[in-house]
Structure 1
Amino acid sequence: MHNFLPIAYFQNQFVPFAEAKISIATHALHYGTGAFGGLRGIPDPNNPQQILLFRLDEHCKRLSNSARFLHFDLPADKIQQVIVEFIQKNKPTFSFYIRPFVYTSDLGIAPRLHNIEKDFFVYGLELGDYLSPDGVSCRVSSWHRQEDRSFPLRGKISGAYIASSLAKTEAVESGFDEALLMNSQGKICEASGMNVFMVRNGKLITPSYDQDILEGITRNSIVTLAEHFGIPVIERGIDKTELLIADEVFLSGTAAKITPVKQIENYQLPKVRPITDKLRGKLVAITENRDSDYQDWVYKVPLN
């Protein structure tokens, strides 16, 4: 059962969440022609009349770029303006997740992006830990990640998440918490909705952008933080066998934050994770506005 924020942004106005409804004939519902973002908001521990958002500008820019794949011109500053006002109207007092969504809103049946109405809405819900902070078990999915030549993977296109959904359910129904997907090159590229990192011999390794991954904002932040700590970062393809003997493996994303992987299939991974812990501690401190190094990553929304 989800606890949704009471106010949503829908059809260019703020309305009660319960009144924000679409038709069963909505084009995007049938063809996956939508794109979404996701970001967390938390009350400032030092100022309850202020909400903290992590890298709001990057989230808005990515959604604006995703909208371009749908032939929808939605400026990043417009998205940001709506999100800020959305928070100020809801005045949340708990940690929450924001879901902005762009989509083809026409009531048509022809699969197309031209000569069709588009729209944009925002809603939110209370959200704690998406995955266990103590670590998760993973299996390598029988489903593969789509290829960039057949799908615009640099956008968070809703239709792409059928593969994620299939992989996640396959993993859970076979006794695991999460799925790892391979790409068409046979390399591990992503989890169901998270980027993947591993540590080997003191180096942080993550799939590069040419591995059909989403350009994750948390991923980008972790690479920057690793460089801040002087941890060598290598971006390249990752083989399954490397993960099985890695010193540390973790997943990253807006919902997952940094989540350690404790098991991959029947292989147990080390319980001591110094690099994961260091990066996670730094990232949490930044998002809670307790770190002076990356204050420009935190957007502060006043509630009064």
Structure 2
Amino acid sequence: MPQFLPIAYFQQKFCPFEEATISIATHGLHYGTGAFGGLRGLPDPANPQQALLFRLERHCRRLSQSAQFLQYDLDASHIKSVIIEFVKKNHPTEPFYIRPLVYTSDLGIAPRVHDVEHDFAVYGLPLGDYLSPEGITCRISSWQRPSDLNLPLRGKITGCYINSSLAKTEAKKSGFDEAIMLNSQGKVSEASGMNIFLVREGQLITPGVDQDILEGITRNSVIQVAQDLGMPVLERSVDRTELLIADEVFLCGTAARITPVKRIENYTLPTDRPITTKLQDLLKAIVENREPKYRDWVDVIPLGN
């Protein structure tokens, strides 16, 4: 069982993590009527009495927008203030991950998002590498990424992640680290919980927002940083055969950061990954608040004694 940060936010107050529990009759547990976020933080390498949070504003805004699909009016500024206080109360001493969650908290049995109670909760845990930074293996999943016609993919809705869960388990049980899902048109969409990029002839390519992807915050960061470096970036549909002959492939997400892919199915990819490595190094520097140009992406939280 993972070790969690000692303090959680639950039912509009801070409490010990062990006390933040719900009933087995909770509406959101049965119907997937919740939404979540995820953001990384770390103690400031330059000052251990401060914590650094990466793109906090953007994460809060996305969770607020996700809550709208549940007809829950949750202001991004409130989410931000709770998360900042959460970090101060926990005073983390190692890199950590924060999971804010909204969900329908009623104990009713009718599937709906109207006339139902909601709650907003926050918890966290220490987190190092989610996937191996040295490279992972992937398979093309037999599970398809849902269409935006079927599910609200612009939000991180809990019920949407059944496909991701099935795809991840299929990949692991067949000897791979991660799954790559195609959309209903047979085009590359994303991994189980990460966006995907490939490099061909010096161009950075990623499936566009019309390919049933989550509009990832790390994805957005990678695109902006690459463009700032003068790299050509293409957002377009991607055929799965392109992955097999790519010069580089990597996954990215809050938990995964930038993770290179070393093999897809039985196709081994090149071990020389100059663009992936350059982006990894720069993103790490940004997250550690060592790049003045991107200081507005990092919130500095004073922790006190």
TM-score bracket, normalised by the shorter chain, equals over 0.9
Question: Which residue type is aligned with residue 185 of structure 2?
Answer: Q
Aligned residue number for residue 266 of structure 2: 266
Distance in 2, Cα, partners of 1:18 & 1:58: 29
Distance in 1, Cα, partners of 2:118 & 2:45: 38
Q: Which consecutive aligned stretches of 4+ in structure 1 deviate over 3 angstroms post-superposition?
A: none
Distance in 1, Cα, partners of 2:223 & 2:89: 35
Aligned residues: 304
- 1:212-227 to 2 correspondence within 5 Å? 212-227=212-227
Pair 1:32 & 2:32 matched: yes
Aligned residue number for residue 239 of structure 2: 239
Question: Which residue type is aligned with residue 213 of structure 2?
Answer: I
> Gaps spanning 5+ residues in structure 1: where?
none
CA displacement, residues 246-269 of structure 1 (integer Å, 9 cap, x when unaligned) = 000000000000000000000000
Distance in 2, Cα, partners of 1:237 & 1:32: 29
Aligned residue number for residue 174 of structure 1: 174
Aligned residue number for residue 164 of structure 2: 164
Distance in 2, Cα, partners of 1:205 & 1:40: 25
- 1:172-211 to 2 correspondence within 5 Å? 172-211=172-211
CA displacement, residues 48-93 of structure 1 (integer Å, 9 cap, x when unaligned) = 0000000000000000000000000000000000000001011010
State the SS of the aligned residue for 1:142: coil
Query: 1:151, CA displacement in angstroms?
Result: 0.5
State the SS of the aligned residue for 1:209: coil
Distance in 1, Cα, partners of 2:242 & 2:6: 46
Query: 1:200, CA displacement in angstroms?
Result: 0.2
- 1:46-57 to 2 correspondence within 5 Å? 46-57=46-57
Query: 1:198, CA displacement in angstroms?
Result: 0.1
Aligned residue number for residue 67 of structure 1: 67
Aligned residue number for residue 81 of structure 1: 81
Query: 1:95, CA displacement in angstroms?
Result: 0.6
Identity %: 69
Aligned residue number for residue 119 of structure 1: 119
Distance in 2, Cα, partners of 1:225 & 1:253: 15
Distance in 2, Cα, partners of 1:30 & 1:277: 42
Aligned residue number for residue 19 of structure 2: 19
TM-score normalised by length of structure 1: 1.00
State the SS of the aligned residue for 1:139: strand
CA displacement, residues 134-159 of structure 1 (integer Å, 9 cap, x when unaligned) = 00000000000010011000000000
Query: 1:293, CA displacement in angstroms?
Result: 1.5
Query: 1:9, CA displacement in angstroms?
Result: 0.2
State the SS of the aligned residue for 1:132: coil
Distance in 2, Cα, partners of 1:188 & 1:178: 14
- 1:281-296 to 2 correspondence within 5 Å? 281-296=281-296
TM-score normalised by length of structure 2: 0.99
> Gaps spanning 5+ residues in structure 2: where?
none
Query: 1:3, CA displacement in angstroms?
Result: 1.1
